[in-house]
Chain A
């Protein structure tokens, strides 16, 4: 599998040729429409967490067929990297079902789970690509996650500036930012007494150059860490993205493939995005050599996944992949509201009750404000995610469905104009790295209300 990228590169240079627009409209979209109809994939807002396994089966088959039809389009060569069913099924069989992440006493084990299972999930906390101010704010923001022992792994935020200079993708500042990010997240982990934590990056590296620069056993990203590598929407890649794969494989680090299809984009709405997400998971394994996959679909308008469509997609994709493969999946929490608001915590809770019963091995969050505002990510919402997910582990799908709908009703009215909340600096004590009394009070209040709804947060 480690030399898969050479074969993929060959196929990127010899596969069927087509213009990108034709790929989008005639090859991808036409097939997608046909598959949705053929397999009867239908979004039901009353059934966010379906219990009927036949939908999961149909969704998986549709996603697989889509992937076999489209392959992955290489933007640089205008060719499709295609695979046959035998090699796809072999790759799914060979995919890891268990990973040991991190180093030394900070290791954790991510493992395949089953539907309605009670195996604990791995919790990945962090700003996850959001812009975080450089210097001590960057370190302290990440420490606010590291401090919570129940958060097993960390995912980094990006540096918009380095020593006051704006970071530009592809420019020398990207290299500087990538290296600086590595040392700062490692420092945050070290100060929290968890220097061996599995840390996923490299958020400041828009291109492969930054990713390569971030390789640093001592003071940056280690092989025991992880690299986020996307399958570009929808079902595409590029030479630069493949360079990230090569670097990660050669550095012998964990590859976290990002599956981020867009609701309201070329894939259409809930049904199309769900099918595309399944295909993108498979693409992540075959093209990105993924160890695990981030399931992170986004609404094109709001950059979140907490409306009814978003919750349904998480649920059905998780079920489809779990019932048909042992691929390790991570449910990504993109929320609309910001820190220090009750709406954010309700949005996290609604997602949290769904991920465990749908078979996800792990969760990642929280993308507060859709990661659109600098310094608007804190450890406390990740801690809430952790408590809610742990409380929901063991919940059956039927119960999760009702709870998710109830929790959704708590923030539905605020979805169009969500409160953006406060910055880390405004809702945390920067000396003690503890939440402000206001943020802590909101946390305790919402936790109590969620408990009253039947989720024992502990």
Chain B
């Protein structure tokens, strides 16, 4: 099979959210001598980008994005041993711990952000819902996270976003992690008030914000 056909197969399998088809297409591509980095850039990334556009246009569902993201994750894990260290570092943008705060069990928006971050190249650890402030911090320490991302939908629960910031300040660990907030109860003013590093209302904005924060942090001062 021609190499561009191999890549098209990877793209289509990603769009279809078919994990097994992605693995099989990648295996065929590698056997055919396609550069593994090309498989990522012109296969998986292209596929997930199409999915993102179709979701934004209302042509695909959130569930389909989840399947596609999982397929990309599976694909990347096959390709990682075959790519250069520089490329591996390039595609891995950082580590994010995400969750919905204590007392709040809304998660659909948070799940969407987690998928977008994952497909953008972040290593995402999703703690689920009703997450205690301390648990955000413990997980972030465990996985050496760059960012803690907290979602809150109710005004009675967004205060726990501030609690997490405060715990870090009180234990002298504030500079260890970047903190961003989102969810219907959070606003840019609230983020500023609690001294979070940023606020994002929509999933694509969360990706841009995380990329910006991680880049800023990695630049030598």
Contacts and interface: CB of A to CB of B under 8 A. Distances in A.
A269 B103 contact: no
Interface string B137-177: 00000000000000000111101101000000000000000
Contact of B103 (A131, A166, A170, A232): A170
B154 A169 contact: yes
A277 to B, nearest CB: 15
A105 to B, nearest CB: 34
Given A166-B159, A167-B156, A268-B61, A300 B108 contact: yes
A24 B202 CA distance: 21
A396 to B, nearest CB: 30
Contact of B61 (A166, A174, A269): A269
A233 B110 CA distance: 13
B82 interface: no
Contacts of A174: 156
13 contacts: A158-B154, A168-B103, A169-B102, A169-B156, A232-B105, A232-B106, A233-B106, A264-B58, A268-B62, A268-B63, A269-B58, A300-B112, A303-B184
Please indicate which of the listed interface residues B62, B160, B162 has the most CB atoms of chain A within 10 Å of its own CB: B62
Given A25-B63, A204-B156, A303-B184, A170 B108 contact: no
A168 to B, nearest CB: 5
Interface in B101-134: 102-106, 108-109, 112
Nearest to A204: B156
B66 interface: yes
A29 B62 CA distance: 10
A354 to B, nearest CB: 21
Interface size, A (range):
35 or more
A262 interface: yes
A207 interface: yes
Interface string A239-258: 01000000000000000000
Interface in B181-221: 184, 187, 202
A29 B67 CA distance: 12
A373 to B, nearest CB: 7
A374 B155 CA distance: 9
A167 B159 contact: yes
Contact of B155 (A131, A265, A370): A131
Nearest to B160: A168
The 6 closest A-B pairs by CB, nearest first: A169-B103, A268-B61, A265-B108, A29-B63, A169-B156, A131-B155
A91 B202 CA distance: 39
Interface in A309-323: none
Given A25-B63, A169-B154, A300-B108, 19 more contacts: A33-B61, A158-B155, A167-B159, A168-B159, A169-B102, A169-B104, A169-B157, A170-B103, A174-B156, A206-B154, A206-B157, A232-B106, A238-B105, A265-B108, A266-B63, A268-B61, A268-B63, A269-B61, A301-B202
B111 to A, nearest CB: 8
A403 interface: no
Contacts of A266: 61-63, 108
A168 B156 contact: yes
A158 B156 contact: yes
A135 B102 CA distance: 26
Contacts of A160: 155-156
B181 to A, nearest CB: 14
Contacts of A158: 154-156
Interface string B62-89: 1100110000000000000000000000
Contacts of B106: 232-233
Contacts of A268: 61-63
A378 to B, nearest CB: 18
Interface of A is mostly: loop
Interface of A: 24-25, 29, 33, 75, 131, 158, 160, 166-170, 174, 177, 204, 206-207, 232-234, 238, 240, 262, 264-269, 272, 300-301, 303, 370-374
A160 B63 CA distance: 34
A158 B112 CA distance: 27
Contacts of A206: 103-104, 154, 156-157
B159 A300 contact: no
B108 A177 contact: no
Contacts of A272: 61
A137 to B, nearest CB: 15
A166 B106 CA distance: 20
Contacts of A262: 108-109
A183 B109 CA distance: 34
A300 B153 CA distance: 12
Interface string B9-31: 00000000000000000000000
B165 to A, nearest CB: 13
B159 A24 contact: no
A168 B154 CA distance: 10
A127 B160 CA distance: 23
Contacts of A204: 156
A233 B184 contact: no
Nearest to B61: A268
Contacts of B105: 75, 232, 238, 240
B136 to A, nearest CB: 16
Contacts of B58: 264, 269
A26 to B, nearest CB: 10
A167 B185 CA distance: 13
Contacts of B103: 168-170, 206-207
A24 B156 contact: no
Contacts of B61: 29, 33, 266-269, 272
Contact of A300 (B66, B67, B109, B155): B109
A72 B61 CA distance: 21
A30 to B, nearest CB: 8
Contact of B112 (A33, A265, A373): A265
Contacts of A232: 105-106
Contacts of B66: 25
